[in-house]
Amino acid sequence: MKSLLLKYKSVIRFIVTFLIVYGVLTISYNMYLDASVGSKFYPDYMTNLVAKQTNTLLNGLGYNASVVPHPNEPSMKVIINGKFVARVIEGCNAVSIIILFLSFIVAFAGKFKTTLLFGLAGSIIIYVFNLIRIVILSVGLYHYPWRREILHTVIFPMLIYGTVFLLWMFWVNQFSKNTSKSR
């Protein structure tokens, strides 16, 4: 047993570190969500911010867009030219995806400064890409509502998780101290 633990020490360290970081960040995020109930930002600050930024981008693209709180659920309704096209829920704000991304980066850490800067830059890239994804999805749902299922459940999740995967691969191949640089 001891020889197996020694043989797979780096794998075990990665898994344990990933799980600890993911657990701590997820618990912290859930505490934030619990604390945001009843705040002036509905449904929570991050979701509200993403919805308002989506609205700004849609209007910047020439659409007559607005976002309003959903009366029956914790979400923001995206309305284009008077037509309800989408709702922005807590899961749309990219925080959970950023937590997943950061957990991997920390578990495959490089130098502290590099890890910190890449984590910050990657989080911003994911956030911005997610915002653009919501805008394109809203426009797509406005023009092609019959494509709702494939747009929302296949194409756009594939793009956001594909982006995270590419960032991970870039990190592992360029900066992580857990990979061999003698290729």
pLDDT in tens, 120-137: 999 999 999 999 999 999
pTM as predicted: 0.89
Q: 3-state DSSP call for residue 174?
A: helix
Query: Is the per-residue pLDDT at 182 higher than 70?
Result: no
Between residues 72 and 126, which one has the greater pLDDT?
A: 126
CB atoms within 10 A of CB 56: 14
Q: What is the C-alpha separation between 181 and 82, in angstroms, rounded?
A: 56
CB under 8 Å to 140, separation ≥6 — which residues? 147, 151
